[in-house]
Amino acid sequence: MRRRRLNTHICSGRRSYTHICSGRTTYTHTRLLRKEIIHTHLLRKEIIHTHLLRKEIIHTHLLRKEIIHTICSEEEECL
Protein backbone atom coordinates (compact mmCIF):
# COMPACT_ATOMS: atom_id res chain seq x y z
CA MET A 1 0.00 0.00 0.00
CA ARG A 2 1.12 3.52 -0.69
CA ARG A 3 1.96 5.76 2.21
CA ARG A 4 -1.05 7.88 3.09
CA ARG A 5 -0.09 11.51 3.29
CA LEU A 6 -1.87 13.97 5.53
CA ASN A 7 -2.37 16.34 2.63
CA THR A 8 -5.80 17.62 1.74
CA HIS A 9 -6.49 19.50 -1.46
CA ILE A 10 -10.00 20.72 -2.21
CA CYS A 11 -10.81 22.58 -5.43
CA SER A 12 -14.33 23.93 -5.15
CA GLY A 13 -13.90 27.67 -5.07
CA ARG A 14 -11.42 27.37 -2.25
CA ARG A 15 -8.25 25.42 -1.61
CA SER A 16 -7.22 23.67 1.55
CA TYR A 17 -3.77 22.28 2.18
CA THR A 18 -2.84 20.57 5.42
CA HIS A 19 0.55 19.02 6.10
CA ILE A 20 1.71 17.41 9.32
CA CYS A 21 5.27 16.12 9.63
CA SER A 22 7.29 14.46 12.35
CA GLY A 23 8.46 17.84 13.64
CA ARG A 24 4.88 18.52 14.74
CA THR A 25 4.51 21.23 12.11
CA THR A 26 1.01 22.07 11.02
CA TYR A 27 0.44 24.16 7.92
CA THR A 28 -3.04 25.10 6.86
CA HIS A 29 -3.66 27.15 3.73
CA THR A 30 -7.16 28.22 2.79
CA ARG A 31 -7.73 30.47 -0.18
CA LEU A 32 -11.14 31.90 -1.05
CA LEU A 33 -11.67 35.62 -0.82
CA ARG A 34 -9.12 35.69 1.94
CA LYS A 35 -5.93 33.74 2.54
CA GLU A 36 -5.32 32.18 5.94
CA ILE A 37 -2.06 30.54 6.91
CA ILE A 38 -1.80 28.91 10.31
CA HIS A 39 1.65 27.58 11.15
CA THR A 40 2.29 25.84 14.45
CA HIS A 41 5.88 24.86 15.24
CA LEU A 42 7.32 22.39 17.72
CA LEU A 43 8.34 25.21 20.07
CA ARG A 44 4.74 26.39 20.13
CA LYS A 45 5.45 29.24 17.73
CA GLU A 46 2.20 30.23 16.09
CA ILE A 47 1.96 32.41 13.03
CA ILE A 48 -1.47 33.41 11.81
CA HIS A 49 -1.51 35.26 8.51
CA THR A 50 -4.80 36.59 7.23
CA HIS A 51 -4.93 38.57 4.01
CA LEU A 52 -8.20 40.08 2.82
CA LEU A 53 -8.33 43.84 2.48
CA ARG A 54 -5.82 44.15 5.27
CA LYS A 55 -2.97 41.90 6.34
CA GLU A 56 -2.83 40.73 9.93
CA ILE A 57 0.12 38.82 11.32
CA ILE A 58 -0.18 37.42 14.82
CA HIS A 59 3.05 35.94 16.11
CA THR A 60 3.05 34.16 19.45
CA HIS A 61 6.38 32.87 20.73
CA LEU A 62 7.22 30.38 23.45
CA LEU A 63 8.16 33.24 25.77
CA ARG A 64 4.60 34.56 25.48
CA LYS A 65 5.74 37.40 23.26
CA GLU A 66 2.98 38.58 20.99
CA ILE A 67 3.48 40.72 17.94
CA ILE A 68 0.47 41.99 16.03
CA HIS A 69 1.28 43.56 12.68
CA THR A 70 -1.46 45.05 10.55
CA ILE A 71 -0.91 46.43 7.09
CA CYS A 72 -3.88 48.20 5.52
CA SER A 73 -4.39 49.17 1.93
CA GLU A 74 -3.97 52.77 0.86
CA GLU A 75 -7.72 53.31 0.89
CA GLU A 76 -8.13 52.01 4.43
CA GLU A 77 -7.23 53.44 7.78
CA CYS A 78 -5.29 51.44 10.31
CA LEU A 79 -6.76 51.41 13.80
* Residue 68: inside a domain: yes
pLDDT by residue, tens only, the chain of 79 residues: 444 444 343 333 334 444 434 444 444 444 433 444 444 444 444 444 444 444 444 444 444 444 444 444 444 444 4
CA dihedral 53, 41, 61, 48 (to 10 degrees): 10
* Residue 79: inside a domain: no
* Residue 47: inside a domain: yes
User: What's the domain count of the chain?
Assistant: 1
> Which pLDDT value is given to residue 26?
44
* Residue 6: inside a domain: no
* Residue 77: inside a domain: no
> Which pLDDT value is given to residue 77?
44
* Residue 50: inside a domain: yes
Whole-prediction pTM: 0.14
* Residue 7: inside a domain: no
Q: Are 59 and 46 in contact (CB under 8 A)?
A: yes
> Which pLDDT value is given to residue 37?
44
> Which pLDDT value is given to residue 42?
40
> Which pLDDT value is given to residue 72?
44
* Residue 2: inside a domain: no
Q: Give the domain extent around 49.
A: 15-72
∠ CA 34-35-39, rounded to 5°: 145
Q: Are 14 and 28 in contact (CB under 8 A)?
A: no
The span from the CA of 1 to the CA of 47, in Å, is: 35
